[in-house]
Amino acid sequence: MERWELSSMPEHRFRGVDLNSEGHVRLCEALAAAEVLFCFEVRTCIPGGDPTICRRLDLLVIGPHSLLNVEVDGARHNRSKKRESDYERDRLLSRHMRTLRFTHEAVLASPEQVVDFIQRELEQDARSLTLQLSRLQDTQGG
């Protein structure tokens, strides 16, 4: 097993905050450049889960009428325990918002394309919400 000295560990920082990987940093930079509202390294208490655990979201992307949890899956995600924990979090979170997952490699290859995809999904969710509200008004005679 390779040992790292503290000074030789790679740094992955965005606006002074340590992130998990270069992919996380590149995606944050691309979202900021596209002027997308987002939070990163978000601590979240999800209803229905273990009340003693606060889950971490990689990115919470915020649109005018929708939210998306965006996850960047890297090498750590291949460990079965981490993967199981992530999918349990996603299952609990699905009652409240959608999760989009991207591989670390895809984000590194083209962060701008990933941002474009995220923006299209936010727009799709907003259209879906507008349609649902319209149908609700129609059924209520509004």
For the packed helices 111-139 and 22-33, what is the interaxial angle rounded to 10 degrees?
60
- How sure is the predictor about 9, in pLDDT bands with cuts at 50, 70 and 90? low
- How sure is the predictor about 58, in pLDDT bands with cuts at 50, 70 and 90? very high
Q: What is the mean pLDDT of the chain?
A: 83
Q: Which of 100, 104, 101, 85 minimizes the C-alpha distance to 46?
A: 85
Does any domain span residue 128? yes
Domain of 125, CATH number, reads 3.40.960.10
Does any domain span residue 6? no
Does any domain span residue 61? yes
pTM over 0.85: no
pLDDT higher than threshold 60 for residue 1: no
More confident residue, 65 or 32: 32
- 3-state SS string over 18-61? ECCCHHHHHHHHHHHHCCCEEEEEEEECCCCCCCCCCEEEEEEE
Does any domain span residue 82? yes
Does any domain span residue 3? no
Q: Residues 49, 90: contact at Cβ < 8 Å?
A: no
- How sure is the predictor about 7, in pLDDT bands with cuts at 50, 70 and 90? very low
Provide the number of structural domains found in the chain. 1
Which pLDDT score, from 0 to 100, does residue 38 have? Answer: 95
